[in-house]
Structure 1
């Protein structure tokens, strides 16, 4: 492959070369490597394999396959293990074909929940996940979760039904056609789907197969939509789908580009800004930091990629970030910052000019459109490359560890330990302290945070030392993502996943009943303060008084037990320890209903200040 390695200075003109390798030679699947020896995501490795949909020998061509069966086989060979969705008459043939395949099919309560769970199952397993729905509202219900999957960089294929040709324009039940629904965006490739099409004939399957395989082999995310009319699902496959392998080598910077980056970073002390896109290069980033003495900060989604207890870690940036980061940038302002795998978007940077180094950024990302976008006026040396490959190459230019005399004592995030009180309600800071001991340090559970104040408390107060332990959606940021996504995460990681959620999100769209049905050991920790508190507190902050965001007080334990889960209600801080231990020990889904003090102000001032700067204020 011709590597894409042309550096761009945003103050000059430049063009990236783009070459794609499509290999038709069989390639066997490889086992996933740890972050210490590979930066290639599991999904990309699995898709470098032979995809054999249907036998193509003359003795077997007479075998009759339906389109639905062919699609199920195609998905099996692409490494799909799970399909989440809600059934319906129009999708029945495909639903049955999936159930008769090796793919595990889970029937969810709501299509949006299925889509959120699919995104989190992808991040937990590295394998593409299917979402299936019926026509009409089944499709529209799933769109929010699918948007989140696209923004988060997941690999998801959306299978939906559409109205048969002969019924279109005749007011069929939940008619799904150009007569009743917009075609552009939902059924065509664009801002939502990297690839979307309506399958009108089995002869189109080879091209669909090729496009999906190529998309799943991408080093970044891929969300596709395959709409299949009901009559096409049961039609016979007339075209043989031959054996073919599609592989895409990750973009790599040239030796000359890496050498130039090393030169720029060697001029004066530099900082490293780690994002979620660097999650497969944790070991290499740590080596680079320790060899160079660089200060390290991370985005909210990047927590744990670099150990938060490391002496060179200065804190989390952006939303609910640490004041130690701003103190570092003001007192130790680096000449340049090496940005690895983050868009530097609003929740990561708030586009704060304090975060711009003296000579700008060296920005590495797999997406060539990312570098220079958040800070268009800042000097940016841009490299399109896989982060792990780039850092490995960069390490060769820093062969020796810097002397201790060059190491600086950087500002560090403060960690306040608050003693629990014997009376309630529970302060969120105390809950996070107990969670740190019991769940973060005392288990290997995945920890997730829902949109709202849950974001803020978890990002600011929890500390992670390993990648893959923390998940938060600060990209699309949809409420309902984590209360449903935790089911997909717990299923795919084959262990515990704990979601920190608000009572508003829990009422909006949860999948506790789905976890009960399939005995998935998900844990919900509900911050129950009887209101959409981020909305109420935020409105007051920006000057709009009297906003009513209250919710009638809910007993989530009664709801959980009524569904078939276990639960415990916590009204005193002294009871938190036992409640969290019970949740971890339970083999069933578990809900902890924590009565939270609504007067406590979360560390979300930066978000409110950003809103004021954008004009959302009454002052």
Structure 2
């Protein structure tokens, strides 16, 4: 980390008008704390700022608009936060979320918790009530008098780092803490709260100029040698997670040299090609029966875990997923290995995945390992021909998406945390990384309906969101996509139900619950906001609708009337709840 300083001797008395000079010239100027914060964020690599404005955050908002950072004004703070998560993963840069006081902050909290779970790098910059106004019922008062400070304004379970900037003198330390967090591998979620009067105050100290540098955690040669020894003792399987997305080439080389079977978490689809003969399937939610059959019939000696926490959505915490001699678990977070399966033998390796696998490859020559290679089981997919009558079956829709979008383009495909995700995990097959995203961590409804806007913007191209009608009604950012002409396509599985909740409750033995949603025409809604769209009521119309969406320039909604009697592949999730003897179902 390198922090330098810029001279700020005064030669002007107009701080709010100096932002452009701050970025575009080398002249020394006096500028405000708001402008200084924005300059520091830009130097940290921030390209995008998403949020909703308000009176209390106005100085920061104005400074953002005068800076090189691209500012998008969203319709809801949660949507801005979800979009920031996906923009981070698409660009590998930190993204700013800005909100005003009170409900601006609380509205964003769900998205910020999702950012923490997903491992994104985002920085919330919010306003707070000026000190002289606190405790006097100021409009949307945000202070310890009206809001809990623990968790929202302090480091803890929501934020890795959080503080309220009470003086410009604190800016250097705030910058230092942000740099430390952004330099670390993995996620970093921060909150900088700035009272309105501090935003407009003149900077009284030298402006920190920040340079980021990152170092990768690496395993020692002794650790790698021990891993080679353990893996050479017998058959092993590789379990690939989202954290391994930067090591696709190396993981494929390792698998092919050793003959190891490979499975992946739902978020890791495509890191190892799903059409590869050594791929046995997706684990967890919407996963494949072939994985369970392999683990049961062939019982590998060990499992090499690369970049997954093995949480419930990935493993269902099932004992069958524990190999005979336990796990070799590689993760950048040293607290992850051994958490999901505390009673299983686990050899923890804190390391960057790519660096670690490269180390293994030095020891595994092309023919150095002679392991028994069973006839690997493969995920099975039956082709179902479209019918000319009745509502659309999800399997037919997903088959068309596979052919026309997954195989016919290079766009990003995203699935909402619902039946849509189950269908995507189960039926879509990717041969390359960075083509598929689902939010299986915090799994908030509305994450992908809004997050797709940030992903498409940061990728600089079209992105597809496969979502349910419930999520689309809860939170979407069609209007934002229209305003900034972002080429997003929403494919809505419109079945008039909270389908996963409805079916899950029935499987759990609860009858008579109300999970229906009044039938909605999402094309009418989309067109009313300035987007385009098409409604699909027959399976024979699917291909034409997908083709039209793929060439559309404007944001586009495909409203697919789904046959709600067709069960989504969520049996494993439900049976896992049943085995827990649970009376609570979280859909």
Q: Is TM-score (shorter-chain normalized) higher than 0.5?
A: yes
Q: In structure 1, how many angstroms separate the alpha carbons of the residues matched to 2:299 and 2:548?
A: 46
Q: Is the 8 A contact 1:199 1:226 kept in 2?
A: yes
Secondary structure in structure 1 of the residue aligned to 2:191: strand
Q: Please, which of 75, 96, 117 is the counterpart of residue 109 of structure 1? A: 75
- Give the match for residue 381 of structure 2: 415
Q: Please, which of 359, 366, 376 is the counterpart of residue 325 of structure 2? A: 359
Secondary structure in structure 2 of the residue aligned to 1:280: coil
Q: Please, which of 75, 84, 87 is the counterpart of residue 121 of structure 1? A: 87
Q: Please, which of 115, 119, 122 is the counterpart of residue 153 of structure 1? A: 119
TM-fit CA distance, 1:475 = 0.6
Q: In structure 2, how many angstroms separate the alpha carbons of the residues matched to 1:320 and 1:244?
A: 44
Q: In structure 2, how many angstroms separate the alpha carbons of the residues matched to 1:404 and 1:397?
A: 14
- Give the match for residue 41 of structure 1: none
Q: In structure 1, how many angstroms separate the alpha carbons of the residues matched to 2:370 and 2:384?
A: 35
- Give the match for residue 224 of structure 1: 190
* Cα offsets for 1:427-453 (capped at 9, x unmatched): 000000000001100011100000111
Q: In structure 1, how many angstroms separate the alpha carbons of the residues matched to 2:208 and 2:39?
A: 13
Q: In structure 2, how many angstroms separate the alpha carbons of the residues matched to 1:592 and 1:451?
A: 18
Secondary structure in structure 2 of the residue aligned to 1:396: helix
TM-fit CA distance, 1:54 = 3.7
Question: Is the aligned partner of 1:341 residue 2:307?
Answer: yes
Question: Is the aligned partner of 1:540 residue 2:506?
Answer: yes
Q: 1:56 to 1:392 in 2, by over 3 A?
A: farther
Q: Is the 8 A contact 2:48 2:71 kept in 1?
A: yes
Question: Is the aligned partner of 1:463 residue 2:395?
Answer: no
Q: 1:500 to 1:354 in 2, by over 3 A?
A: same
Q: Please, which of 193, 210, 223 is the counterpart of residue 176 of structure 2? A: 210
Q: In structure 2, how many angstroms separate the alpha carbons of the residues matched to 1:452 and 1:396?
A: 42
- Give the match for residue 215 of structure 2: 249
TM-fit CA distance, 1:531 = 1.0
- Give the match for residue 149 of structure 2: 183
* Cα offsets for 1:41-69 (capped at 9, x unmatched): xxxxxxxxxx6674469998962110000
Mapping 1:463-542, distance limit 5 Å: 463-542=429-508
TM-fit CA distance, 1:244 = 4.6
Q: In structure 2, how many angstroms separate the alpha carbons of the residues matched to 1:248 and 1:434?
A: 42
TM-fit CA distance, 1:409 = 2.2
Q: Is the 8 A contact 2:175 2:208 kept in 1?
A: no
Q: 1:573 to 1:401 in 2, by over 3 A?
A: farther
- Give the match for residue 332 of structure 1: 298
Q: In structure 2, how many angstroms separate the alpha carbons of the residues matched to 1:406 and 1:332?
A: 10
TM-fit CA distance, 1:455 = 1.1
* Cα offsets for 1:76-106 (capped at 9, x unmatched): 1111110000000000000000000000000
* Cα offsets for 1:396-424 (capped at 9, x unmatched): 11012468995432000001111011123
Q: Which runs of 5+ in 2 are unaligned?
A: 12-25
TM-fit CA distance, 1:269 = 1.4
* Cα offsets for 1:284-319 (capped at 9, x unmatched): 000000000000000011110000000000000011
Q: Is the 8 A contact 1:53 1:73 kept in 2?
A: no
Q: Is the 8 A contact 2:468 2:492 kept in 1?
A: yes
Question: Is the aligned partner of 1:263 residue 2:250?
Answer: no
Residue-pair matches, total: 571
Q: Is the 8 A contact 1:55 1:61 kept in 2?
A: no
- Give the match for residue 313 of structure 1: 279
Q: 1:405 to 1:347 in 2, by over 3 A?
A: closer
- Give the match for residue 446 of structure 1: 412
- Give the match for residue 552 of structure 1: 518
Q: In structure 2, how many angstroms separate the alpha carbons of the residues matched to 1:197 and 1:57?
A: 27
- Give the match for residue 528 of structure 2: 562
Q: In structure 2, how many angstroms separate the alpha carbons of the residues matched to 1:428 and 1:414?
A: 16
Q: Please, which of 379, 391, 399 is the counterpart of residue 433 of structure 1? A: 399
Q: 1:227 to 1:604 in 2, by over 3 A?
A: same
TM-fit CA distance, 1:214 = 1.3
Q: Is the 8 A contact 1:449 1:472 kept in 2?
A: yes
Q: In structure 2, how many angstroms separate the alpha carbons of the residues matched to 1:615 and 1:312?
A: 36
Q: Which runs of 5+ in 1 are unaligned?
A: 1-22, 25-50
Q: In structure 2, how many angstroms separate the alpha carbons of the residues matched to 1:478 and 1:599?
A: 24
Greater mean alpha carbon deviation, residues 473-482 or residues 243-252: 243-252
- Give the match for residue 144 of structure 1: 110
Q: Is the 8 A contact 1:52 1:74 kept in 2?
A: no
- Give the match for residue 590 of structure 1: 556
- Give the match for residue 131 of structure 1: 97
TM-fit CA distance, 1:247 = 2.7
Q: In structure 2, how many angstroms separate the alpha carbons of the residues matched to 1:62 and 1:154?
A: 35
Q: Is the 8 A contact 2:265 2:283 kept in 1?
A: yes
Secondary structure in structure 2 of the residue aligned to 1:520: coil
Mapping 1:363-382, distance limit 5 Å: 363-382=329-348
* Cα offsets for 1:148-192 (capped at 9, x unmatched): 011000000001000001000000000000000000000000010
Q: Is the 8 A contact 1:198 1:228 kept in 2?
A: yes
Secondary structure in structure 2 of the residue aligned to 1:172: coil
Q: Is the 8 A contact 1:293 1:408 kept in 2?
A: no
Q: Is the 8 A contact 2:232 2:369 kept in 1?
A: no
Q: Please, which of 157, 161, 167 is the counterpart of residue 195 of structure 1? A: 161
What is the RMSD computed on CA atoms of the aligned residues?
1.7
